[in-house]
Structure 1
Amino acid sequence: MTIDTPSAEMRLLLRTLAEFVREELLPLERPFLYHDFDTLMPILEDKRRLAQSLGLWLPQISAEHGGMGLSLYEHGLVSEVLGRTPLGHYALNCQAPDAGNMEVLIEHGTPEQKERFLLPLLAGEVRSCFSMTEPENAGSNPTRLSTAAVKDGDAYVITGHKWFTTGAEGAAFAIVMAVTDPAAARHQRASMIIVPTDTPGFHIVENTSVMGERGRGWASHAEIRYDDCRVPQSNRLGAEGMGFVIAQQRLGPGRIHHCMRWIGICERAFDLMCRQAVLREVAPGRALAEMGPVQNWVAESRAEIDAARLLVLRAAQRIDAEGAYAARDDIALIKFHVAGVLQAVLDRAIQVHGALGMTDETPLAFWYRHERAARIYDGPDEVHKWSVAKRILGRYAL
């Protein structure tokens, strides 16, 4: 499969987005990295309104629902540009987990659910969170859940314990994956249910500290207790028992978004690394860029980033053309491969920066802390390697 060349219109959009990131968002990184959200958020909300006025809003959503109507391949290219700053995706209202929740609501929501929950989300008036991972169960196996939703009249009563629920602080509602039929087949036990965060029994225990950093708002991960949360059965998304199916539909395209965002991070880290190598002297008149190991890191990083991009764009095109199931090998390959490239490039960039790389004067340390999770969330590397290897070897079986 050859990789499509972006259209002239798409190239213009990418240049426009690159300018928006450079001029409007990069100057806001310092208050973000130093957790000055009181200063950051009013300005960032202004930037969101500016993006919306410029038509740079909801790139992953169809025009029918107020988005830019990009294909998965095109949105991948956009994600790379936005990934160059931690603020990029939020500025265009395509950040996780809201982007995935929008897609789920569009695909499976009732007219009433769309009116109440989807429309404010699309408009950027509220945020949401996605509540699946549990501390007591392996996150790599979403069929093993303890959180239960028990029917009581026309309601579900939800009880359970979740964590790493991204963006729960300040969210208007959660989409919760809970067991609705423990006797069903393991892929049909759970359902997805919308729980407004003002529901009695919804308790944020705390924002979880990630490698020494406790985020805020949309940039946080929360531990949550559901203590007899009572919501109408009409809050269920799709048919009962479809939770696993919906989760898989959500994750396939989402991995393209993540991987291209990681490519954007790699490009920014590469740029910072090269600039530092040229500017920093190790001796009078001798720059870091003249050192053999640094030159090796630059060459290796360039090759790895370019190869990873092609791999992801090929997967995106296959999903667009043939669907996520046909592209399942491609999706598994990019998930672990790009995560590994990301970690390697960030590590080299920090090494070139020396002590500066350990500070929050650049976004490198932030990404190093938070994006180490790239090899864990949405399925750890080992699971993806195992699953794709089994399918490949199965084709050789007699």
Structure 2
Amino acid sequence: MSTIEVSPQAADVRVNSPEPLAPLPRPATPAQVIKNDAEAIAVAERLAKVFAEGAARRDREGLLPIAELDVFSQSGLWGINVPKAYGGAEVSYVTLARVIAIISAADSALGQIPQNHLAGVAHLIADGSEEQKNRLLAGILQGLRWGNAFSEKGSKTVGDFKTTLRRENGQLVVNGEKFYATGALLAHLVHTVAVDEEGHVQLVILERDAEGLTVINNWSSFGQRTTASGTVLLDNVRTTPENVIPVWQAFDRPTAAGPISQIIQAAVDAGIARGTIADTLAFVKEKSRPWIDSGQEKASDDVFTLAAIGDLQIRLHAAEALLWRAGEFIDLALKTPNEETVAAATIATAEAKVLTTEIAILAGNKLFELAGTRSTLAEYNLDRHWRNARTHTLHDPVRWKYFHVGNYYLNGVNPPRHAWS
């Protein structure tokens, strides 16, 4: 696989466009089904080489990665956490984090888009009925993409949901407005969070073309530009109980739902850092000039540059080590879920999130310091790395990670259970 064919319809779809985008068709052929962890890593590495080729242009011109996303989901990587009992590979969360980091190093938007899909699959596995798991997981393995409609930018806190699920004339009806809806524009199914009449938070699986469901392509952030994380309007969207998953149960008892969501976020940031450092190395070797006082012929021989590169690599490897360690803790919490294992997985993932955040932002800053003024030119679009890191790491504040980690180790207080912890 060396090139990606782009249909005329998909070639010029841009972010924050006033033009409506019709729901994308479902895949004409079944997706590949990945069999094991090694195959998942190999497929990710192969795709990353292709995705990296157009990443700078897509960001610069605001082109949505529609063709790339089709290749991504058809590769089977969107189904790697489906259990073996339902036909999937059930890879470890170490492997899942590695896959997301590999893709994110090539294009962090493509790395982020499946985040809520994969987390949604985990919720389905944990709290869906057998009928739901058999039906919906089969669709995942066929190549159907889920796009999220969770957050609401006008609420008091990120966990305060105003979207409702009500019974009207014997039917279930969803009403509300969502934002930060990563993946929804380009999804086949939209999974949204709504509060029912008993006050329980439910996960509702809706068809992307359901009547009353509108996705607005109005994501205008300076970073992660091509995730199309805009608005979803839900106006009397009708559904059935078969499409409602009691997601509130995931946090009513000890489950790995929170750290699963978080490790994918941390993996995106690790990937951003990795891609940024790779571009820094290439630029310093190929284009940068040595500083006048260094006495060197090449920028890559400058002693201060060498020390700074060493520092970046050490910090990256430390962050990655904590990320893989967090995956091991999550795998244990899935195997033996209880207060102790879930708290340990949450803390391990928080530790990884701190270091992946810090190295992603630091790498973006150091790129320009080490590569020099020429690296700021628009033709290279290297500022996308810092913009992407700064935007994506805002998902949940690391200042609270420090607090929960310290409180856990010093006072024995378990961290809270929710999707941002």
- After superposition, the CA RMSD in angstroms is 3.5
Deviation readout 1:248-296 (Å, 9 max, x if unpaired): 7433123223323432332222222122223322469733334454233
Bigger mean CA deviation after superposition, 11-20 or 95-104: 11-20
Bigger mean CA deviation after superposition, 367-376 or 246-255: 246-255
Aligned to 1:4: none
Aligned to 1:391: 408
Letter in 1 for 2:101: E
Task: Report the CA distance shift for 1:154/1:293 in structure 2 as closer, same or farther (over 3 A).
Answer: farther
Deviation readout 1:295-338 (Å, 9 max, x if unpaired): 33212201211111222222222222344333222122222231
| Matched residue SS, 1:157 | strand
- TM-score with structure 1 setting the length: 0.78
- TM-score with structure 2 setting the length: 0.74
Asked whether the equivalents of residues 204 and 225 of structure 1 are also in contact (C-alpha less than 8 Å), the reply is yes
Asked whether the equivalents of residues 357 and 393 of structure 2 are also in contact (C-alpha less than 8 Å), the reply is yes
Letter in 2 for 1:204: V
Deviation readout 1:183-208 (Å, 9 max, x if unpaired): x5xxxx32222222323322224422
1:59 aligned residue (72, 80, 86): 80
Task: Report the CA distance shift for 1:375/1:25 in structure 2 as closer, same or farther (over 3 A).
Answer: closer
Instruction: Tell me, in whole angstroms, the C-alpha distance in 1 between the residues paired with 2:38 and 2:205.
Output: 38
Task: Report the CA distance shift for 1:108/1:369 in structure 2 as closer, same or farther (over 3 A).
Answer: same
2:240 aligned residue (209, 212, 232): 232
Task: Report the CA distance shift for 1:246/1:338 in structure 2 as closer, same or farther (over 3 A).
Answer: farther
Matched, 1:305 2:311: no
Matched, 1:25 2:51: yes
Asked whether the equivalents of residues 41 and 95 of structure 2 are also in contact (C-alpha less than 8 Å), the reply is no
1:370 aligned residue (388, 391, 412): 388
Asked whether the equivalents of residues 168 and 174 of structure 1 are also in contact (C-alpha less than 8 Å), the reply is yes
2:206 aligned residue (195, 211, 216): 195
Q: CA deviation at 1:339?
A: 0.8
1:105 aligned residue (109, 116, 124): 124
Letter in 1 for 2:285: V
Asked whether the equivalents of residues 161 and 195 of structure 2 are also in contact (C-alpha less than 8 Å), the reply is yes
| Matched residue SS, 2:342 | coil
Structure with the bigger RCO (C-alpha within 8 Å, sep 6+) is: 2
Instruction: Tell me, in whole angstroms, the C-alpha distance in 1 between the residues paired with 2:254 and 2:210.
Output: 23
Q: CA deviation at 1:48?
A: 5.9
| Matched residue SS, 1:164 | coil
Asked whether the equivalents of residues 40 and 80 of structure 2 are also in contact (C-alpha less than 8 Å), the reply is no
Deviation readout 1:52-71 (Å, 9 max, x if unpaired): 5xxx6733333444433321
Aligned to 1:174: 190
Instruction: Tell me, in whole angstroms, the C-alpha distance in 1 between the residues paired with 2:87 and 2:379.
Output: 37
Aligned to 1:341: 359
Matched, 1:155 2:181: no
Number of aligned positions between the proteins: 367
Asked whether the equivalents of residues 266 and 342 of structure 1 are also in contact (C-alpha less than 8 Å), the reply is yes
| Matched residue SS, 1:145 | coil
Instruction: Tell me, in whole angstroms, the C-alpha distance in 1 between the residues paired with 2:184 and 2:90.
Output: 27
Aligned to 2:29: none
Aligned to 2:13: none
Instruction: Tell me, in whole angstroms, the C-alpha distance in 2 between the residues paired with 1:177 and 1:89.
Output: 23
Q: 1:31-180, aligned counterparts within 5 Å?
A: 31-35=57-61, 37=63, 41-42=66-67, 45=70, 49=74, 51-52=75-76, 58-86=79-107, 95-114=114-133, 117-124=136-143, 126-140=144-158, 142=159, 144-180=160-196
Matched, 1:258 2:265: yes
Extract unaligned runs of 5+ from structure 2: 1-35, 334-340, 414-421
Instruction: Tell me, in whole angstroms, the C-alpha distance in 2 between the residues paired with 1:251 and 1:214.
Output: 26
Task: Report the CA distance shift for 1:155/1:393 in structure 2 as closer, same or farther (over 3 A).
Answer: farther
Extract unaligned runs of 5+ from structure 1: 1-8
Task: Report the CA distance shift for 1:371/1:293 in structure 2 as closer, same or farther (over 3 A).
Answer: same
Letter in 1 for 2:203: M
Letter in 2 for 1:295: L
Task: Report the CA distance shift for 1:164/1:57 in structure 2 as closer, same or farther (over 3 A).
Answer: closer
Instruction: Tell me, in whole angstroms, the C-alpha distance in 1 between the residues paired with 2:410 and 2:187.
Output: 44
Instruction: Tell me, in whole angstroms, the C-alpha distance in 1 between the residues paired with 2:218 and 2:57.
Output: 19
Aligned to 2:27: none
